[in-house]
Amino acid sequence: MRIVIQRVSEASVEINKNIVAQIANGLLVLVGIEDADAQEDIDWLCQKIVNLRIFGDENEVMNLSVKDIDGDVIVVSQFTLHALTKKGNRPSYIKASKPEIAIPLYENFVNALEKELGKKVQTGVFGADMKVALVNDGPVTIIINSKNRN
């Protein structure tokens, strides 16, 4: 599983001109799923996301997590995180899971993240054409691959 975490002061997801998710301070998490992903990847990533100390404390030092600041989270599926770009100019997405594998893993990811965070997580709609808007605070952007955790 590959994720991109962005610390945001605001973020939203729009589908067909309707806002389906919207937050103020928190995290926008883009998630790419591959066939090799399992519950172990989900559990590790969710624990990491919730406890990652990337928010400023009273001294503006990154010492607080999204949980510490009672921040919100939006999760958006993004198969393009598994793009292979070595050959030619058209990315290949062969490593990205097909919906029949990715959707249950995505739903498990959202549920596990809600459990770790202790509150509802907002989402986009899997497979939809989404317009994602955000104000990246910092900017802070972190990329994590669950296969590189050792």
- b/e map 36-54, b = 16+ CB within 10 Å: ebeeebbbebbebbbebeb
Match 């050959």 to its residue by tokens.
Answer: 87
User: Crossing angle of helices 99-117/39-51, nearest 10°?
Assistant: 40
Catalytic (active site) residue 80: yes
Is 12:19 a contact under the CB 8 Å cutoff? yes
Please give the sequence-ordered ranges of beta strands (E in DSSP) within the chain, or none if there are none: 2-15, 18-23, 26-32, 55-56, 62-64, 72-77, 122-123, 131-145
- Of the residues 80, 85, 123, 141, only one is catalytic, namely 80
List the catalytic residues. 80
